[in-house]
Amino acid sequence: MRPIMEEGVNKMQHSKGLFLFLTCLLVLLIPKGASAKDLGTVLEIALGQLVASDLENRFGVSQDPELHARVQNVALQLASLADRKGIDYKFRVLDSYEVNAYAVLGGSVYVNRGLLDALGPADDELAFALAHEITHIKEKHGVKQALLGMVASILLGKLDSRKTADAAALIAPLPPDFYSPPRLLWK
pLDDT at residue 4 in the model: 45
41 vs 103, residue with greater confidence: 103
Instruction: Examine the pLDDT at 12 and tell me if it is beyond 50.
Output: no
Confidence at residue 128, expressed as pLDDT on a 0 to 100 scale: 95
Is pLDDT larger for residue 114 or for residue 45?
114
Q: How far apart are CA 62 and CA 133, in angstroms?
A: 19
DSSP string, 113-162: HHHHHHHTT-HHHHHHHHHHHHHHHHTTHHHHHHHHHHHHHHHTT-S-HH
Q: What is the average pLDDT across 139-167?
A: 66
Instruction: Return the bridge partners of 103, or none.
Output: 109
- Could you confirm whether domain 35-139 is CATH 3.40.640.10? no
| Stretch 144-168: mean pLDDT | 63
Q: Could you read off the pLDDT of 28-83 as tens digits, one per residue?
A: 555 555 544 555 777 788 888 888 998 999 999 999 999 999 999 999 899 888 87
Give strand ranges (E) for 18-148.
Answer: 90-94, 101-104, 108-112
According to the model, what pLDDT value does residue 180 have?
A: 46
| pLDDT band at residue 86 under the 50/70/90 scheme | confident
Write down the mean pLDDT value for the chain: 74
Average pLDDT over residues 157-179: 55
- C-alpha span between 26 and 140 (Å, rounded): 19
Listed by start position, the domains of the chain span 35-139
